[in-house]
Structure 1
Amino acid sequence: MAADNGKKQQEGGEKEKMVKVTNKSVVVPRKELGRRECPLVTFDLPYLTFYYNQKLLLFKGQGGIEENWEEMMGKMKESLQEILVDFYPLAGRLGKDEEGVVRVVCDADNVGVEVVEAVAAGVGVAELGEDESPTLLQEIVPYTGVLNLEGFCHPLLAVQFTKLRDGLAIGCAFNHAILDGHSTWHFMNTWAEICRGATSISVPPFHDRTKARNTRVKLDLPSPGKPLCSERDVSAPPQMREKIFRFSGSAIDKIKLNVNSSLSNGSKPFSTFQSLGVHIWRAITRARHLNPEDYTVFTIFADCRKRIDPPMSESYFGNLIQAVFTVTAAGALLAQSPGFGASLVQKAIETHDSKAIDGRNKEWEAAPVLFQWKDAGQNCVAVGSSPRFQVYDIDFGWGKPERVRSGRNNKFDGMVYLYQGKGGGKSIDVEISLEVQAMGNLEKDEEFLMEEQE
């Protein structure tokens, strides 16, 4: 057996075997909640066949992580118990009501968050924070390759604390069928707030999903039995690379200035997101070496909290996003000024109002479709997350994160995640998944790279 393990280490790389699990537990809400249910509505249901959404926070060894590990773990679990009282859907499981409509059930038989403690003494924070995603991520962030649909038999939140050589990694896997990125970071910031010593939650979550969409849609789902919960695809898509490109505030300013330079008098200026979005879209299109007549799609996962009528509170806890698309020929996108592509993105965003959202929901409810993460379309660039999320303000009591990134789930050719830059200000980190050859081309594209900085 030892010889076999040694061979696997040589073939797969030594780091893949450097994570040792030391403890597993289930954390439940601090007080008895009775039975609580939360329906999944039209904004939630299409994500059942996506994978769990994974996030990774890396902390350097300030604050005595090594010396105070047991105390830290105690505080983390206690504060998690505390906030699960308010964020109770994360402590539940997926279930169906008597009519077969999917919901979250939180009761004595369906409660608890999976918490894993591990050690990777030979791995440093810098290694996990490298721009190129290491294969070790699937050992650090839980539930790689686990579908949201498996929330019928798995916790809806799993957390792994890994003690590193010089710090701590916190890997989280959230069931994407019950919350979006906005709600994810609302939860994370609240958890940190309580762990630091706050006696109450500053922004309680709002749970009434019927206010967002009061619909009941019965889906023909695969049975959540043993085969569903045991089969895994834990490997990244073949011939893919994942890398973070870091843009300083000055680079973002130059990108925005360049995209807006072709505006005619009286035209609405392009936002930072629209400018950066078209900058990325054009660069990836160049990197793919598409033919001029090939179509390319730009997709945005838009937050609809302020778009629906009436608008929803920022504290709404759930999914309130919809995919917004625009498409053009590669030749048209690249031959014209960046303002051409930015105008397409701007129009797609601005026309996605309450009427469009309602129409999209009605269309889906009439003929429900369960999408997969890879159904984004041909030559797609899809943008998720947002630099507006204050990910570097998440301080559990031992300092702010050194790096924040996503795990390996829901990655496909052209998937992009935007994060606040660690340097603050206008800096933005752009995490891109791309086919190997195209990524190599992108890395050499000086027009795209601008003044890439920490």
Structure 2
Amino acid sequence: MAENPPAAGVLERCDIRPSANTTSELTLSLLHFDITWLYFHPVHRLLFFDFPCSKTEFLETVVPKLKESLHETLNHFLPLAGNIIHPLNSGRPFSRFEDGDSVTLTIAECDKDFDYLTGNHPRVADEFYACVPQLPPAKHTPDVVILPVLALQITLFPDRGVCLGITNHHGIGDASSIVRFIKAWASVNRSSGDSKLIDDKLLPFYDRTSVEDPEGLDSIYWNLIKQSRAVESPPISFPLNKIRGTFILRKDDVQKLKHFVLERRPEMHITAFIVTCALVWVCLVKVDGATETLADDEPEYFCFAADCRGRLSPPLPAAYFGNCLGFVKAESTHGLLKGNDGFLFAAQSVGEAIHKTVNNEKGILDGAENWPRQFGKLIGKRLFGVAGSPRFDLYDVDYGWGRPIKFESASIDADTSMSLCKSRDFEGGLEIGLSRPKEILDAFAAIFTEALRNL
């Protein structure tokens, strides 16, 4: 890293292995769904729990139980204890777990203000990295690069709470896969280490032969991706000079937004996701329009991923482990989005993009051979996106410490995405996370609040 992030005091760093009586080796091919994310920045998730405990209780009770439950859970999620093997000369990348592989778990203590970090108000983005685990460094050989895929950290805020940090390499799995691991681990920890109590719905499905590839997408993607950039993601450079804020849409807000669109576009199929993305997109465009000189015909893009598991032919089980995402691209122009009807144009663009890709009569992978080039062309363009989904509710995770008081997607510091998840406190509501320079976030907050007030 260019500069060290705000640090927590490391109390212990240990390697947790699956049980010795598990499979000694598990190798999974990385398919085009995985290859897409091979050079993406690591994904950081933070779960804060309002769980006051002393340092003694933390070290003597909480940590040993967490280690044991992780040990048991990894028996079912062996790829997360393994590595991605990236060939340098010939062959395609794959995931490999071997006997002796492990996951690094960091035990830390932090004296930062727990209430400050878990609020919705603007907070300095750098402050969160005391709780963010870093993936171990890659190992280089003449023929391959060996990339660890998971790092974990449990941080104590004495007598106030704990934070569980999860960092994963995106090439090993998407949110569906990683959230299943988080929930499985939570259930084992809550049940005092009994992995037999894991809900069958959370157990991963590994069969790669279930994924058909008649168009040869695996080879197409690998031949394109391997030429694109370095194997390892660049380090985070501190200070980030960004402020992190959380914005809430209550159920009533969502209903008003949907009603606003349907009154004017009754033919549209409108969802909470569409109106939320449209509102954030337009507000960000208007902020930039007020601070930069942008032509009305300047293209504006909003991109996000859609789960393909149930949309393939044949469909995959919901528990399929790995990445299984299609790319959706909405586009408009700066002039349309900054105008009085900008929200309507944004909603229409997002809705049409979903219909064109997700509901494509030829299948969600129609045109997928062109996705890498299409999205490569967007580098340097005016692009916004979404990280996460309300489908993956991390606020119902319980390690025995109660539900999280706050979820943060630290990954959004690295790009222009917003995070999106269910609201913890408002049934039917949504929680939006943004990380931007202070002046941008302040301007966004004003426009966002005014937009909701005028509904």
Give the drift of 1:146.
7.7
- Asked if structure 2 preserves the Cα contact closer than 8 Å seen for 1:46 and 1:371, the reply is no
Give the drift of 1:311.
1.8
In structure 1, C-alpha distance between the alignment counterparts of 2:129 and 2:135, rounded to whole Å = 6
Structure 2 residue matching 1:351: 3-state secondary structure: helix
Structure 2 residue matching 1:355: 3-state secondary structure: coil
Gaps of 5+ in 1: 1-11
Structure 2 residue matching 1:136: 3-state secondary structure: helix
Structure 2 residue matching 1:48: 3-state secondary structure: coil
Q: Please name the residue that 1:263 is paired with.
A: 265
- Asked if structure 2 preserves the Cα contact closer than 8 Å seen for 1:280 and 1:448, the reply is no
Q: Go from structure 1 to structure 2 and tell me whether the alpha carbon gap of 1:281 and 1:44 turns closer, same or farther (over 3 Å shift).
A: same
In structure 2, C-alpha distance between the alignment counterparts of 1:381 and 1:148, rounded to whole Å = 33
Q: Please name the residue that 2:75 is paired with.
A: 85
Offset from partner CA, 1:211-249 (integer Å, 9 cap, x none): 234455355749x9xx977x9522258654432212222
Report the AA paired with residue 206 of structure 2: H
Offset from partner CA, 1:102-131 (integer Å, 9 cap, x none): 00111125x1111110111x2232122233
Q: Please name the residue that 1:443 is paired with.
A: 445
- Asked if structure 1 preserves the Cα contact closer than 8 Å seen for 2:125 and 2:242, the reply is no
Q: Go from structure 1 to structure 2 and tell me whether the alpha carbon gap of 1:86 and 1:446 turns closer, same or farther (over 3 Å shift).
A: closer
Structure 1 residue matching 2:71: 3-state secondary structure: helix
Structure 1 residue matching 2:23: 3-state secondary structure: coil
- Asked if structure 2 preserves the Cα contact closer than 8 Å seen for 1:138 and 1:144, the reply is no
In structure 2, C-alpha distance between the alignment counterparts of 1:125 and 1:236, rounded to whole Å = 21
In structure 1, C-alpha distance between the alignment counterparts of 2:422 and 2:43, rounded to whole Å = 18
Offset from partner CA, 1:27-66 (integer Å, 9 cap, x none): 1112332111011000110211111111000011257786
Percent identity reads 24
- Spell out the pairing of 1:315-326 with structure 2 (5 A cutoff): 315-326=319-330
Give the drift of 1:76.
1.2
Gaps of 5+ in 2: none
Which of 176, 182, 205 is residue 176 of structure 2 equivalent to? 182
In structure 2, C-alpha distance between the alignment counterparts of 1:409 and 1:145, rounded to whole Å = 21
Report the AA paired with residue 86 of structure 1: H
Which of 124, 131, 144 is residue 140 of structure 1 equivalent to? 131
Give the drift of 1:371.
7.7
Q: Go from structure 1 to structure 2 and tell me whether the alpha carbon gap of 1:209 and 1:118 turns closer, same or farther (over 3 Å shift).
A: same
Q: Please name the residue that 1:407 is paired with.
A: 410
Q: Please name the residue that 1:103 is paired with.
A: 94
Moved more, 96-105 or 231-240: 231-240
Q: Please name the residue that 2:302 is paired with.
A: 298
- Asked if structure 2 preserves the Cα contact closer than 8 Å seen for 1:145 and 1:233, the reply is no
Report the AA paired with residue 105 of structure 2: V
Moved more, 354-363 or 132-141: 354-363
Q: Please name the residue that 2:353 is paired with.
A: 348
In structure 2, C-alpha distance between the alignment counterparts of 1:436 and 1:408, rounded to whole Å = 18
Give the drift of 1:450.
2.8
Q: Please name the residue that 1:311 is paired with.
A: 315
Give the drift of 1:342.
1.3
- Asked if structure 1 preserves the Cα contact closer than 8 Å seen for 2:107 and 2:153, the reply is yes
Which of 421, 424, 445 is residue 423 of structure 2 equivalent to? 421
Give the drift of 1:339.
2.9
- Asked if structure 2 preserves the Cα contact closer than 8 Å seen for 1:34 and 1:107, the reply is yes
Which of 39, 49, 60 is residue 29 of structure 2 equivalent to? 39
TM-score by length of 2: 0.83
Report the AA paired with residue 25 of structure 1: C
Give the drift of 1:350.
1.6
In structure 2, C-alpha distance between the alignment counterparts of 1:232 and 1:24, rounded to whole Å = 24
Q: Please name the residue that 1:61 is paired with.
A: 51
In structure 2, C-alpha distance between the alignment counterparts of 1:449 and 1:147, rounded to whole Å = 46
Give the drift of 1:405.
0.7
TM-score by length of 1: 0.84
Report the AA paired with residue 406 of structure 1: S
The number of equivalent residue pairs is 426
Q: Go from structure 1 to structure 2 and tell me whether the alpha carbon gap of 1:235 and 1:149 turns closer, same or farther (over 3 Å shift).
A: farther
Q: Go from structure 1 to structure 2 and tell me whether the alpha carbon gap of 1:182 and 1:329 turns closer, same or farther (over 3 Å shift).
A: same
In structure 2, C-alpha distance between the alignment counterparts of 1:252 and 1:236, rounded to whole Å = 36
In structure 1, C-alpha distance between the alignment counterparts of 2:307 and 2:434, rounded to whole Å = 20
In structure 2, C-alpha distance between the alignment counterparts of 1:149 and 1:381, rounded to whole Å = 34
1:382 and 2:373 matched? no
CA RMSD of aligned residues (A): 3.4
Which of 358, 367, 372 is residue 365 of structure 2 equivalent to? 358
Offset from partner CA, 1:41-94 (integer Å, 9 cap, x none): 001102111111110000112577862432211111111111211111101111
- Asked if structure 2 preserves the Cα contact closer than 8 Å seen for 1:206 and 1:317, the reply is yes
